[in-house]
Each structure stands twice: as C-alpha cells, then as structure tokens.
Chains A and B, each alone.
Chain A
C-alpha cells in the first residue's frame, strides 16, 4: 500500500462526505467542518480599555445599539480580559432555537459539531438527564454543569461550564423592549491538578436587529475563584 500524502488524506470528519461524493444534509459534523475550514479569522481588533468593559457593567448590553467594541478583546487595568464576539445569525436562527441547542447538545458527538477541530469531549452532569429531551423546558440547563475537554491556546484543557439564570446579571423585564430573545450565561471553570477554579464569566445574548438575529458573546476572563481543592499542597 502506497503512502498517502497529507494533501490526499481525508479528514476523519469528512470520510462519509467523500465516500458519498457530497455532504449529506444530516451530516452535521461534515457541514460544520466545511464551515470551519472556509472561515478565515484574522487577528482580534485592538481597542483601549474603558470602564464599560468591566464585568459589573455587563447589564449595559441591554442598551439599544452596538457597544463601541462588539468584536475584539482588551486587557483591562485589573489584569482581566474583556473578550467580545459578534455573530450574525441571520433570519434562520432565533433566540428560541439558540436556547434549544444548549438543552440538546448532549454527548461528545453533538459537542464536536460545534467545533470539529478543537472539541474533544463534552457531557452534562448526570442530573441533566433526569428529563427527557422533549421535556426539557427553556432554560433547563440553568444550574447544570457541562464538562468539556477542548484544545485552546495550544493545549488541551478541561472546562466546566456552570450555567446561571440571566436575572443574575440583567433586568429580564427589559428583554422584550431591548429585542432580546435569548440570554445564556454562566461561569466557566477550569479543571486542573490543583482542583476546580472559576476563571471567567460568559454571556451569550441573542437580540433582533432589523429583522435579523445577532448573537453577542462576552467573556470576562480572569475573575479567579477556587471552588474545590484536589488534595494538592495548595
């Protein structure tokens, strides 16, 4: 058998698509893989640190109109990072659908669709499965934790995302007025040899602007909180 060069090699995510000669409609892994390979992400835009970027000002996301930095990242004076990502979801995806995804992203296979290259594994805490998929109401993931293994920043890290209720950060009574259709937020923890530690706050907000859904993601990286010790020295 002859050696296969890297150009000829087929990525494992695309095997079925190559055999079929096309990407099947329900081959979500291949579709996501194709979308990922076609995407070109440049360097994050730089911006000066400003007070509204602090985590305690997260509620300002409800103010109509775009914030001065919707897509980029800034190191704040206290050492934390403000990371902002804006995604145009178009007219095909709405807030209900976005919320639904978090209730149905179960198991490694579906988690890999989200990022076919960097996602290794991901699953919910056992209590999450107490309700059948069709019986999980909106916001069901709140107070559940999603344990993942991902390749980020050049190394594989184990995360634990613990979802929280939006009312902890926002005045939910103003959602309709602000055109907000979904908010998914939580605390991102990292699992390391020394134990479990919170390292970031994450907020996903979907709102309707000119008939299109836009997803605004904010990550406040650096707010440290050790939750559990793992029997180490520290």
Chain B
C-alpha cells in the first residue's frame, strides 16, 4: 500500500515538475533527469520500500549458499581446468613463455614433448630443449 502511494505521489510530482520546468526533459523518452531520479531513489522512504527485509534476507541466504557451493568444487575444477588449458596451448607458445615442463625421454623410451605427470619435469627448471627431429 505504501509502495502504491509512493508511486502515485512520485508520478504526480514528476509530471508537475515537468510542466513547471520543461527544461527538465533530458531526452525524448524521459521526464526526469537522472540526478532527480537518483535523489528520490536514495530517499529514506524509497530505500525502505524498495529494499524490504525479505530481499535482504534472500541476498544473505543466497550468498551463504553460493560460497558454500563454490567451496565444494573449486579446488578440483581449478586443477582440471588449468591442466586442460595448458594442454590446449600451442607447444611453441608454452616453450617460449618458459611455462612448459620440457620434453624428455621417459622410462618407456618414448620422447615426450608435453607435460606428463608420470615423468614430471624432465627438461629442467622451466627450461625446454627442442627435441631432435621435431
């Protein structure tokens, strides 16, 4: 009820304002300039009617739940996604950045060009040597 009353008063006063001061019309689609809307929007009455307790409780509860959900999957997702993105990046770019673990010959005699958790860093600390014939 209070909201409806406020809305009626707000609309009536804005129309009167426009009739009194036509220069208030800032563009074709609006009656009031932004500063006027913002002043009314920041009035105590507006804050109490537009931000009821139910909205604030809803936001609080939502944030608590959001952060709890984030905590449940973030560490695993971070690990998996960073590995996936790193694998997608072109080999030469990774080598140029020094972020590649380096290539090397594994225990099975196969020359590995990309990171392999089985063999770890075989190319030295951030170093990379382009394998022969690559």
With an 8 A cutoff between CB atoms, is A125 at the interface?
no
With an 8 A cutoff between CB atoms, is B92 at the interface?
no
With an 8 A cutoff between CB atoms, is B118 at the interface?
no
Which of B34, B51, B76, B88 meets A81, CB within 8 Å?
A: B51
Instruction: Decide if B48 touches A113 in the complex (CB within 8 Å).
Output: no
Interface centre among B14, B50, B63 (most CB of A within 10 A): B63
Instruction: Decide if A234 touches B54 in the complex (CB within 8 Å).
Output: no
Instruction: Decide if A134 touches B86 in the complex (CB within 8 Å).
Output: yes
Count of chain A residues with a beta carbon within 8 Å of a chain B beta carbon: 62
Return chain B residues, CB-CB under 8 Å to A25. Answer: 76
Which of B44, B48, B56 meets A73, CB within 8 Å?
A: B56
Instruction: Decide if A219 touches B63 in the complex (CB within 8 Å).
Output: yes
A89 and B71 CA atoms in complex are apart in Å by 6
Return chain A residues, CB-CB under 8 Å to B58. Answer: 152-154
Which of A101, A134, A221 meets B70, CB within 8 Å?
A: A101
With an 8 A cutoff between CB atoms, is B21 at the interface?
no
Return chain B residues, CB-CB under 8 Å to A26. Answer: 76, 80
Which of B29, B38, B62 meets A224, CB within 8 Å?
A: B38
Residue of A nearest to B89 (CB): A134
Instruction: Decide if B56 touches A75 in the complex (CB within 8 Å).
Output: yes
Return chain B residues, CB-CB under 8 Å to A83. Answer: 56, 59-60, 63
With an 8 A cutoff between CB atoms, is B20 at the interface?
no
Return chain A residues, CB-CB under 8 Å to B44. Answer: 78-79
Q: Which of these binds chain B: A4-12, A27-35, A55-63, A171-179?
A: A27-35
Instruction: Decide if B11 touches A229 in the complex (CB within 8 Å).
Output: no
Instruction: Decide if B78 touches A152 in the complex (CB within 8 Å).
Output: no
Return chain B residues, CB-CB under 8 Å to A79. Answer: 44, 46-48, 51
Return chain A residues, CB-CB under 8 Å to B54. Answer: 153-154
B56 CB, nearest partner CB in chain A, Å: 4
Return chain A residues, CB-CB under 8 Å to B61. Answer: 41, 44
With an 8 A cutoff between CB atoms, is B133 at the interface?
no
Residue of B nearest to A113 (CB): B73
Return chain B residues, CB-CB under 8 Å to A150. Answer: 62
Binary interface encoding of chain A residues 183-201 relative to chain B, with 1 for a CB under 8 A from any of its CBs, else 0: 0000000000000010110
Give me the 7 closest cross-chain CB pairs, A-B, nearest first: A79-B47, A153-B58, A224-B41, A35-B72, A32-B69, A87-B67, A28-B73
Interface residues of B (CB under 8 A from A): 10-11, 14, 27, 29-32, 34, 37-38, 41-42, 44, 46-48, 50-51, 53-78, 80-81, 85-86, 88-89
Interchain residue pairs with CB less than 8 A apart (29): A32-B70, A44-B61, A72-B60, A73-B56, A78-B47, A79-B48, A83-B56, A83-B63, A87-B64, A87-B68, A90-B71, A101-B70, A113-B73, A114-B66, A117-B65, A150-B62, A152-B59, A153-B54, A153-B55, A153-B59, A219-B60, A221-B55, A223-B42, A225-B38, A226-B34, A229-B27, A233-B11, A234-B11, A234-B31
Other contacts beyond A32-B73, A152-B62: 17, CB < 8 A: A35-B69, A39-B65, A73-B60, A83-B59, A83-B60, A85-B63, A92-B75, A113-B73, A113-B77, A114-B70, A118-B65, A217-B63, A222-B47, A224-B41, A226-B37, A232-B30, A234-B32
